[in-house]
Amino acid sequence: MKKDLVNIKDLSNDEILKLFDIADEMSRAVEKKERLDLCKNNILATLFYEASTRTRLSFESAMFRLGGSVLGFSSTEGSSVSKGETLADTIRTVANYSDVIAIRHPNEGSARVASQYSSVPVINGGDGGHQHPTQTLLDLYTILKEKGSLSSLTILISGDLKFGRTTHSLAISLARFGAKMCFASPPGLEMPEYILRTLREEFNNFPQEGTNIRDFIHQVDAIYVTRVQRERLGEMEYLKYRDAYVLSSEVMKSAKHETIVLHPLPRVNEISRDVDKDPRALYFKQAFNGVPIRMALIATLLGKV
């Protein structure tokens, strides 16, 4: 039976750790700029109904590094979506042209719908404000590589926690791995109640909540910053929140010497540029990890490892 990755809960902790072992091997291939031939007869379709740089390009880079081929669209303009085609019909068609599909779509639940209509594995590259499980894999992988553990850590997740889909899948999986969490968001952009309920009821996890990074920065092992999700807010709302929080080198003075800084990117102004030269700022290394992680995932879903 085909396996999809739509929700981070589709993978057990053991499956995630297995992917990380494979990603370690893939990482060595990427560093040596090697092209493997594990997926040489396979095609990845990337169907991106929403803007993307890292997710789409790292999926494509991953498939090329595995020796496979890629087709797809990076916006709906040139596709039959602009003629009114439904997601179900597009998926049924593209499943005939490819062996695995990575999809990003503005609607919550769209990746699950796609998986129901697809005869090939579907990977959720972000469904509206819901989840972004492959980003979570590379976030967890980065934290684990840098800190050696997840269960002993306290992680601050900050920014737009209402619409930031990366924070939803990250919070669920950090809780499942036993990490402690603090959430800092401007009033109105708090973590949705359904996520908090999952954390409480399924994982007995009770994050501390606040409105300011400064309230927690001194006590955490990692800071995960996210941007205000402009495309999911009205313009007036966006202007209200735009400058509500900034992690600057001044703020970083309150962090522990070994506290790492992560961001799924793109960054707008929520981490000032002067933080980039701080050795604790790992967001570009984190983005690099997207390729080996996605190689490991594609090869696994295609049964090649």
Chain residues that interact with ligand NCD, rule: CB under 6 A: 54-55, 126, 132, 135, 165-166, 226-227, 264-266
Identity of the residue numbered 4: D
Concatenated DSSP letters of 149-201: -STT-EEEEES-TTT-HHHHHHHHHHHHTT-EEEEE--TT-PPPHHHHHHHHH
Shortest Å, Cβ 80 to ligand NCD: 24
Q: How many CA atoms lie within 13 A of 105 on its CB side?
A: 24
The encoded tokens of residue 158 equal 């900050």
Q: How far is CA 299 from the centre of its chain?
A: 18
Measured from the CB atom, is 53 or 149 closer to ligand NCD?
A: 53
Shortest Å, Cβ 160 to ligand NCD: 8
Shortest Å, Cβ 176 to ligand NCD: 20
State phi, psi for 157 to the nearest 5 degrees: -110, 125
Shortest Å, Cβ 125 to ligand NCD: 7
Render the burial of 182-192: b for 16+ CB within 10 Å, e for the rest: bbbbbeebbbe
Measured from the CB atom, is 180 or 227 closer to ligand NCD?
A: 227
* Residues in Cβ contact with 187 at an 8 Å cutoff, skipping those fewer than 6 apart: 211
Measured from the CB atom, is 20 or 48 closer to ligand NCD?
A: 48
Shortest Å, Cβ 56 to ligand NCD: 9
Shortest Å, Cβ 54 to ligand NCD: 5
Would you say the C-alpha torsion 284, 147, 192, 244 has a positive or negative sign? Answer: negative
